[in-house]
Structure 1
Amino acid sequence: MKNMLVPGAPPYNTPTQTDYEVFTSGLQEDTYGVASIREPMTLMKNYIEEPGFNPQLPEEMSYATWHTSTGITVTRRSYVWSYPGYRDFIIYDYKFKNTGKI
């Protein structure tokens, strides 16, 4: 029996690589998936020592695109900095497009 006054071990939150999307609902006992081939995420670095450094761009940018089972193509861009005053947040930019690709 768990005691609410004594904390337990931290949760095990290690991401696992999958080739399918997981769908769940509140009344469902298990999860089920639909096969989905995803392109690898692209990571671009823009450090001072990198060739082609642009001080107007973030230090790291990642791009990912995938198709959902509902015909929506999702494009996600994320931007991170390490400059003082800019290192404690990440900007996520999502674009959703109804392409009909399933």
Structure 2
Amino acid sequence: MKITCSIRLLPLKAESKDQIYGLVDEAIGVIANSGLKYLVGPSETTVEGEFSQLLKLIEEIYKKITPLCDRYVLEVAFDCAKSGVNIDEKIAKYR
């Protein structure tokens, strides 16, 4: 069953806006390379997949960002439904 996961990276010890955006770009790169469907938003990125795929993705982001940033917050929210959840369904009326 597919669900969606919203991911938000908040670097706490970045020295500049460019460094913050660079770290966020690194995380988005991990997401893009995952092969999962995703949608980048201004404050978070939403990814669609199976729960186990999404957990693996979160771990990959953690492994990528941890050596690059002294401290950060990685916010993760899952939207789960027995019938499944997908990005297109959630945003259809806004497109």
Whichever structure has more helix as a proportion of its residues is 2
Q: Larger RCO: Structure 1 or Structure 2 (Cα < 8 Å, ≥ 6 residues apart)?
A: 2
| TM more than 0.5 | no
Give the number of the structure whose alpha-carbon radius of gyration is greater: 1
TM-score when normalising by structure 1: 0.24
TM-score (norm 2): 0.26
